């Protein structure tokens, strides 16, 4: 980002914080208007063309089902969200730790790179049935495992990249201070890497929800959003199925926004 | 503390110099076995309190020489002593402060946090750090900006913070690698005036890398002109433009100043002017 030339003597006028271009009206109101228009159009089409609910239920039907089954949807969100969160935490801790080790040891990095690349291309949901047989169909473990695995990959790669972003001038500076390895890591390497870790976390946050949800399709206990979607759909209760889909969207947004807010807070001062 | 030292000089003489570079070469290994001689048997001394500029075209090894003195790099052959100690020991003992062309501030620390960094790394307590940082911020004229972050400052202000940081531990030697290289001409001249003032106040020796002739002449007691491929010292010009503290804005209009500038220019362009030869016997 460009630096504003603050004139010497000009009292503390801070750089204009990156302005809300277009103002709040445009950034907030415009998407809302579009959303409302789409919903109206959708409802209109469903009503006027008399579209059958098994093809496409109208927003009113879905909203009605959502309201009527609020407790069930909330429970589903809680179950799936818990799995996603546990997976997110485990995957992040593992990803960050392994990336730090890989950054410290070149050999480990070279050994780990193909393995992590292999993990990245494993269709993780394909693992779910195998994991259910390993951990038992009554446990949530398999779902958390799948979420953790999905989270691990972007967190690992982003952290590793971040740990390699130390600018040469900072490295020279630390050497000129005769700083110990740990001092250099603590004062320069980790703060430099932090924004990258949180970018990885933001990407991983949606992946965690999606993976935990999809893993439910392959077995395991009922109660989560994924199971509820399939069971409502198979009992021809399409409005309810869509209400659960709406719940999943909300859950995904919740995870993503939380990660985004944390990322913004952390990267505020990390420069360009 | 230090290993047994090969002492080619009588100890006292070596110790009385801020920097003593003796027959230093630095060869970088290139691709396909080719090698680049960045510096070829360079010798140079800097007295305590003396301001010496290194000037020359790109590729003459001036930055390499500075990095060698700072022990950010090691000579292929030759020896470098800083205050009578090997360069490595001088770095470990924090005998010098350094500033680079890029300010190299940590963007997540405030101005005063950045200046406190070396003090913090070397275990100064919080109160001492605060006091020292405040003094230095005052010295470089940024009192109103102590709590600002680097991205809120202009390039010139960032560079002043970097200079304050290099002075944090009151070093007797300052190493500066084109610290004003990225600044516009007006900011640059103002920074030069400030540097002259700061040097007078701290009486530190300075090794200053630059590619600006007027800058070198204005700031220095001696200007060392280097030539490229291989990097060698072509000549050394003693600039007698008064004591560091007495240099001011008027000096830039001075007859002697222009004379010295043209002397350095002629040296840089290769022909040895009659007057300049022998300005320094070597």
pLDDT tens digit sequence for A3-16: 444 333 333 333 44
Q: Which residue from B minimizes the CA distance to A170?
A: B104
Confidence of residue A135 (pLDDT cuts 50, 70, 90): confident
Q: Residue B236: what pLDDT?
A: 79
Out of B170, B195, B227, pick the residue that ends a domain.
Answer: B170
C-alpha distances out from residue A218 to A86, A144, A221, A226, B84, Å: 19, 13, 10, 9, 74
CATH code assigned at A99: 1.10.3720.10
Least confident of A7-21, B124-138, B148-162: A7-21
Q: Is B81 left (phi over 0), alpha (psi -120 to 50) or beta?
A: beta
- Distance from the Cα of A261 to chain B's closest Cα (Å) equals 18
Listing DSSP states for A177-232 in one string gives TT--HHHHIIIIIHHHHHHHHHHHHHHHHHHHHHHHHHHGGGSS-S-SHHHHHHHH
Nearest Cβ partner of A6 from B122, B141, B154? B154
B275 and B141 inside one domain: no
CATH code assigned at B194: 3.40.50.300
Distance CA B112, CA A89 (A): 36
Q: Which residue from A minimizes the CA distance to B103?
A: A169
Q: For B105-114, what is the mean pLDDT? A: 88
- Distance from the Cα of A66 to chain B's closest Cα (Å) equals 45
Least confident of A123-127, B129-133, B209-213: A123-127
User: Would A35 be classed as within a structural domain?
Assistant: no
The more confident residue out of B120 and B241 is: B120
Please report residues of A whose CB lies closer than 8 A to that of B148.
Answer: 12, 14
User: Would B73 be classed as within a structural domain?
Assistant: yes
Out of B170, B198, B216, pick the residue that ends a domain.
Answer: B170
Confidence of residue A112 (pLDDT cuts 50, 70, 90): confident
Look-up of token digits 């579009």: A34
Q: Is B122 left (phi over 0), alpha (psi -120 to 50) or beta?
A: alpha
Whole-number mean pLDDT of chain B?
A: 79
- Distance from the Cα of B100 to chain A's closest Cα (Å) equals 7
Please report residues of A whose CB lies closer than 8 A to that of B120.
Answer: 187
Residue pair B174/B201 in contact by the 8 Å Cβ criterion: no
Contact across the interface for B98 and A173, Cβ inside 8 Å: yes
B119 and B70 inside one domain: no
Least confident of A33-42, A125-134, A213-222, B241-250: B241-250
Please report residues of A whose CB lies closer than 8 A to that of B141.
Answer: 8
Q: Residue A21: what pLDDT?
A: 52
Please report residues of A whose CB lies closer than 8 A to that of B104.
Answer: 167, 169-170, 172-173
B259-277 pLDDT tens trace: 777 877 888 786 544 444 4
B67 and B199 inside one domain: yes
C-alpha distances out from residue A161 to A180, A264, A268, Å: 22, 19, 19
B70 and B109 inside one domain: no
Q: Is the pLDDT of residue A94 over 90?
A: yes
User: Would B9 be classed as within a structural domain?
Assistant: no
Confidence of residue A85 (pLDDT cuts 50, 70, 90): very high
Contact across the interface for B155 and A3, Cβ inside 8 Å: yes
C-alpha distances out from residue B116 to A131, B120, B233, Å: 53, 6, 37
B89 and B199 inside one domain: yes
Q: Residue A64: what pLDDT?
A: 85
Residue B246, domain extent: 46-95+175-282
Overall number of domains in chain A? 1
- Distance from the Cα of A271 to chain B's closest Cα (Å) equals 5
Q: Is the pLDDT of residue A121 over 60?
A: yes
How many CB pairs below 8 Å do chains A and B form together? 79
B182-215 pLDDT tens trace: 777 887 888 888 888 888 887 888 999 988 888 8
Nearest Cβ partner of B100 from A172, A177, A179? A172
The more confident residue out of A13 and B181 is: B181
Q: Residue A87: what pLDDT?
A: 92
Nearest Cβ partner of A172 from B72, B148, B157? B72
Please report residues of B whose CB lies closer than 8 A to that of A271.
Answer: 107-108, 150-151
pTM metric for this prediction? 0.71
- Distance from the Cα of A237 to chain B's closest Cα (Å) equals 54
User: Would A86 be classed as within a structural domain?
Assistant: yes
Q: For A127-155, what is the mean pLDDT? A: 83
Distance CA A15, CA A95 (A): 36
The more confident residue out of A8 and B158 is: B158
What is the distance of C-alpha A272 from the center of its chain? 23
User: Would A114 be classed as within a structural domain?
Assistant: yes
Contact across the interface for B121 and A183, Cβ inside 8 Å: yes
Query: What are the residues facing B206 on neighbouring strands?
Result: B51, B174
Percent of chain A with pLDDT over 90: 15
B278 and B203 inside one domain: yes
Q: Is the pLDDT of residue A139 over 50?
A: yes
B28-83 pLDDT tens trace: 887 777 788 888 888 888 888 888 988 888 878 888 888 888 888 888 888 888 88
B74 and B128 inside one domain: no
Contacts of B173 (CB under 8 A, 6+ apart): B18, B19, B46, B82, B83, B95, B96, B97, B204, B205, B206, B207
A31 CB-contact burial (10 Å; exposed 0-12 / middle 13-18 / buried 19+): exposed
B151 and B259 inside one domain: no
User: Would A9 be classed as within a structural domain?
Assistant: no
Phi, psi of A220 (to 5 degrees): 90, 180
B56 and B84 inside one domain: yes
Q: Residue A230: what pLDDT?
A: 85
B188 and B259 inside one domain: yes
User: Would A22 be classed as within a structural domain?
Assistant: no
Percent of chain B with pLDDT over 70: 85
Percent of chain B with pLDDT over 90: 2
B132 and B164 inside one domain: yes
Q: Residue A256: what pLDDT?
A: 92
User: Would A42 be classed as within a structural domain?
Assistant: no
A16-42 pLDDT tens trace: 444 445 566 777 888 888 989 998 998
Whole-number mean pLDDT of chain A?
A: 81
ipTM of the complex: 0.79
Q: For B127-151, what is the mean pLDDT? A: 85
Please report residues of A whose CB lies closer than 8 A to that of B144.
Answer: 11-12
Contact across the interface for A178 and B151, Cβ inside 8 Å: no
Q: Is the pLDDT of residue A113 over 90?
A: no
B87 and B200 inside one domain: yes
Nearest Cβ partner of A187 from B98, B117, B154? B117
The more confident residue out of B253 and B126 is: B126
Q: Residue B74: what pLDDT?
A: 85
Q: Is the pLDDT of residue A259 over 70?
A: yes
**Chain B positions touching chain A (beta carbons under 8 Å):** 67, 70-72, 91-92, 94, 96, 98, 100, 102, 104, 106-108, 117-118, 120-122, 141, 144-145, 148-157
Q: Which residue from B minimizes the CA distance to A175?
A: B72
Q: Which residue from B minimizes the CA distance to A4?
A: B154
Contact across the interface for A269 and B155, Cβ inside 8 Å: no
Q: Which of B1, B119, B151 to mutate to test the interface with A (most CBs of A within 10 A)?
A: B151
User: Would A46 be classed as within a structural domain?
Assistant: no
Out of B126, B143, B170, pick the residue that ends a domain.
Answer: B170
Overall number of domains in chain B? 2
- Distance from the Cα of B272 to chain A's closest Cα (Å) equals 37
Residue A187, domain extent: 57-267
């Amino acid at each position: 980002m460009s630096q504003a030339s603050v004139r010497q003597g000009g009292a503390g006028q801070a750089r204009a914080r990156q302005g809300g271009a277009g103002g709040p009206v445009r950034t907030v109101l415009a998407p809302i208007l579009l959303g409302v228009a789409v919903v109206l159009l959708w409802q209109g089409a469903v009503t006027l063309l008399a579209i059958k609910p098994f093809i496409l239920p109208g927003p009113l039907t879905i909203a009605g089902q959502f309201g009527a089954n609020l407790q069930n949807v909330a429970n589903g969100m809680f179950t799936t969200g818990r799995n996603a969160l546990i997976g997110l935490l485990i995957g992040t801790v593992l990803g960050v730790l392994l990336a730090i080790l890989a950054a410290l040891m070149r050999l480990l990095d070279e050994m780990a790179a193909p393995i992590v690349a292999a993990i990245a291309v494993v269709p993780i949901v394909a693992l779910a049935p195998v994991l259910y047989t390993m951990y038992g169909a009554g446990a949530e473990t398999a779902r958390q495992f799948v979420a953790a695995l999905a989270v691990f990959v972007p967190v690992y790669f982003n952290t590793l990249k971040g740990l390699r972003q130390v600018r040469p001038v900072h490295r020279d500076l630390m050497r000129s201070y005769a700083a110990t390895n740990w001092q250099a890591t603590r004062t320069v390497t980790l703060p430099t890497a932090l924004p990258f870790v949180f970018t990885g976390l933001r990407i991983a946050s949606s992946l965690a929800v999606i993976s935990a949800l999809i893993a439910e399709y392959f077995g395991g206990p009922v109660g989560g959003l994924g199971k509820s979607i399939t069971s409502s759909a198979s009992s021809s209760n399409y409005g309810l199925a869509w209400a659960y889909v709406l719940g999943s969207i909300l859950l995904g947004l919740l995870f993503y926004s939380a990660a985004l807010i944390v990322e913004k807070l952390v990267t505020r001062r990390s420069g360009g | 503390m230090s290993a047994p030292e090969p002492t080619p000089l009588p100890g006292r003489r070596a110790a009385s110099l801020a920097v003593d570079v003796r027959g230093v070469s630095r060869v970088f290994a290139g691709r396909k076995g080719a090698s680049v001689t960045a510096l070829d048997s360079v010798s140079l001394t800097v007295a305590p309190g003396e301001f010496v500029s290194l000037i020359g075209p790109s590729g003459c090894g001036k930055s390499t020489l500075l990095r060698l003195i700072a022990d950010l790099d090691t000579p292929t052959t030759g020896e470098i002593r800083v205050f009578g100690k090997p360069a490595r020991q001088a770095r470990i003992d924090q005998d010098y402060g350094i500033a680079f062309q890029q300010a190299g501030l940590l963007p997540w620390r405030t101005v005063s946090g950045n200046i406190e960094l070396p003090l913090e790394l070397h275990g100064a307590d919080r109160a001492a750090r605060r006091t020292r940082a405040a003094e230095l911020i005052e010295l470089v004229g940024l009192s109103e900006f102590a709590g600002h972050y680097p991205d809120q400052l202009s390039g010139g202000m960032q560079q002043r913070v970097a200079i304050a940081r290099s002075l944090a531990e009151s070093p007797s030697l300052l190493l500066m690698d084109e610290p004003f290289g990225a600044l516009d001409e007006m900011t640059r001249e103002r920074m030069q005036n400030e540097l002259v003032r700061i040097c007078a106040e701290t009486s530190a020796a300075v090794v200053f890398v630059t590619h600006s002739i007027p800058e070198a002449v204005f700031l220095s007691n001696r200007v060392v002109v280097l030539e490229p491929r291989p990097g060698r010292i072509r000549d050394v010009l003693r600039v007698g433009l008064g004591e560091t503290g007495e240099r001011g804005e008027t000096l830039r209009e001075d007859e002697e100043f222009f004379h010295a500038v043209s002397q350095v220019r002629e040296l840089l362009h290769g022909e040895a002017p009659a007057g300049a030869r022998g300005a320094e016997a070597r």
